[in-house]
Amino acid sequence: MNNYGGSKSLAVVNIGLIQLQQYDKLDAASRNEMILEHFKRLFLKASNIHGSKIDLVCLPELWYTKVVKDFEKEFRVILDVAKEYDCTIIPGAFKEKISDGTYVSCPVVTPGSVLGRQFKIHLFGLQRKTLNPGSKMEVFDIGKLKFSVAICYDLVFPEIARSAVREGADLLFFPSKIPKEGINPWHLYLQVRALENRIPVVAANVCGDLFGGRSIIVDLKYDKSTDIATPKIKTGAAVREQIIIVEIDLKRSRQMRQRRFADSFIIT
Which segments of the chain does DSSP mark as H helices, in order? 28-50, 71-74, 76-85, 127-130, 158-166, 183-197, 250-262
Residues forming beta bridges with residue 234, ordered by sequence position: 217
Give the tens place of pLDDT for each residue, 47-92. Answer: 666 566 789 999 999 998 889 999 998 888 888 888 988 999 999 9
What pLDDT, on a 0 to 100 scale, did the predictor assign at position 28? 65
pLDDT of residue 151 exceeding 50 = yes
Mean pLDDT of the chain: 89
pLDDT of residue 110 exceeding 90 = yes
* Residues in Cβ contact with 177 at an 8 Å cutoff, skipping those fewer than 6 apart: 60, 61, 62, 63, 152, 205, 206, 211
What pLDDT, on a 0 to 100 scale, did the predictor assign at position 30? 74
Domains of the chain: 12-261 (3.60.110.10)
Give the tens place of pLDDT for each residue, 219-266. Answer: 999 998 998 999 999 999 999 988 888 999 999 999 999 998 888 776
What pLDDT, on a 0 to 100 scale, did the predictor assign at position 7? 46
Report pTM. 0.91
What pLDDT, on a 0 to 100 scale, did the predictor assign at position 84? 86
* Residues in Cβ contact with 63 at an 8 Å cutoff, skipping those fewer than 6 apart: 20, 21, 22, 23, 92, 177, 206
Give the tens place of pLDDT for each residue, 178-205. Answer: 999 999 999 999 999 999 999 999 999 9
pLDDT, average across residues 33-47: 70
pLDDT of residue 102 exceeding 80 = yes
**Phi–psi pair at 43, nearest 5 degrees:** -75, -30
